Amino acid sequence: MNNEKWMKEAIKQAKKAAQKDEVPIGCVIVKDDQIIARAYNKREMKQCSTAHAEILAIEKACKKLGSWRLEDCDLYVTLEPCPMCSGAIIQSRIRNVIFGAYDPKGGCMGSNMNINDVRGFNHYPYIEGGILQDECSRLLKEFFKAKRKKK
């Protein structure tokens, strides 16, 4: 299934984040069956609260396409998007959002809230969660476990 194929690419990005001591969250954006942007969480590296994988990937995709409209693009991310990224996804008109692990605290695509329940926006993405979620959440758990040991 293609969803798993692309999620595996997002997982590769998440692993890169872990190698750089960043919380392992990875993202890819796919258009016409090709990856047009890859990114991983760089919050520590950039010391920037907005340097989430999805935001960085959206920026790359817009640059690549020369457009802020990502209408025919699908976003794959290893963790359910936060409020900021959910907003950026709506703003960029992304078609489908496929995520791996659910985030009960920050997740705005079904867990804590669902942006698609908020009426009045001019765009709503199709959302599917739980793709390869065991692998996606294992990465996060192992990362935090190793962090606690270091302290």
Q: Interface residues with Zn ion (CB under 5 A)?
A: 52, 82, 84-85
- Choose between 107 and 132: whose C-beta lies nearer to Zn ion: 107
Could you tell me the smallest distance in angstroms from the CB atom of residue 127 to Zn ion?
Answer: 15
Work out the burial of residue 5: count CB atoms within 10 Å of its CB; fewer than 13 is exposed, 13-18 middle, 19 or more buried: exposed
Active-site annotation holder among 54, 59, 80, 142? 54
Could you tell me the smallest distance in angstroms from the CB atom of residue 109 to Zn ion?
Answer: 11
- Choose between 109 and 132: whose C-beta lies nearer to Zn ion: 109
Choose among 122, 70, 62: nearest CA to 92.
70
Could you tell me the smallest distance in angstroms from the CB atom of residue 115 to Zn ion?
Answer: 12
Q: Compute φ and ψ for 145, nearest 5 degrees.
A: -65, -45
Q: What is the DSSP letter of 37?
A: E
**Length reported for the chain:** 151
Residue 145 tokens, joined? 């476990």
- Choose between 106 and 130: whose C-beta lies nearer to Zn ion: 106
Concerning whether 54 is annotated as a catalytic residue, the answer is yes
Residues designated as active site: 54
